Amino acid sequence: MRIEDTTILITDDSILARKQLKDIISTLGTPVFVEATDGQSAIDKYKEVHPDLVFLDIVMPKKDGNDAIRDIMEFDPEATIIIASSVGTQSQLKNALEAGAKDFIQKPLDKEQVLAVVKRFLEGR
């Protein structure tokens, strides 16, 4: 799959974190970006847009990332969700992976790590 043919949902309550992730990914090309600011809006946007790839923070208002993962995976068991979070205990990360997240990126974001995850996704599709 080409990056230009990809829709990516970025969910984080920090506008700066969303911008940084978009800027890094955009160095590969120009996907369609969709943004959400909390877990519930991520679920709603996912159902509306059916993105190819989801980046999701764990700690957010309204509904946290782990709850959002479970709801998205229930709606679409094939969803590709990557956790991008600075906070989170081992148990939260373990819960995210058990709920269906495919990978984890630690904040502050490392450009090479983000690009490696996106490239693996593109090659796997």
Residue ranges in the chain whose pLDDT is less than 50: none
Does any domain span residue 125?
A: no
The CATH number linked to 44 is 3.40.50.2300
Residue 16 falls within a domain, yes or no?
Answer: yes
Count the domains in the chain: 1
* Residue 123: inside a domain: no
Question: What pLDDT was estimated at residue 51?
Answer: 98
What is the structure's pLDDT at 89?
Answer: 65
pTM here is 0.94
pLDDT of residue 50: 98
Residue 52 makes CB contacts below 8 A (sequence gap 6+) with 1, 6, 7, 8, 80, 121, 125
What residues make up the domain containing 17?
3-118
Per the domain annotation, does 85 fall within a domain?
yes
The answer to whether the CB of 53 falls within 8 A of the CB of 32 is: no
Q: Give CA angle at 16 (14, 19), nearest 5°.
A: 115
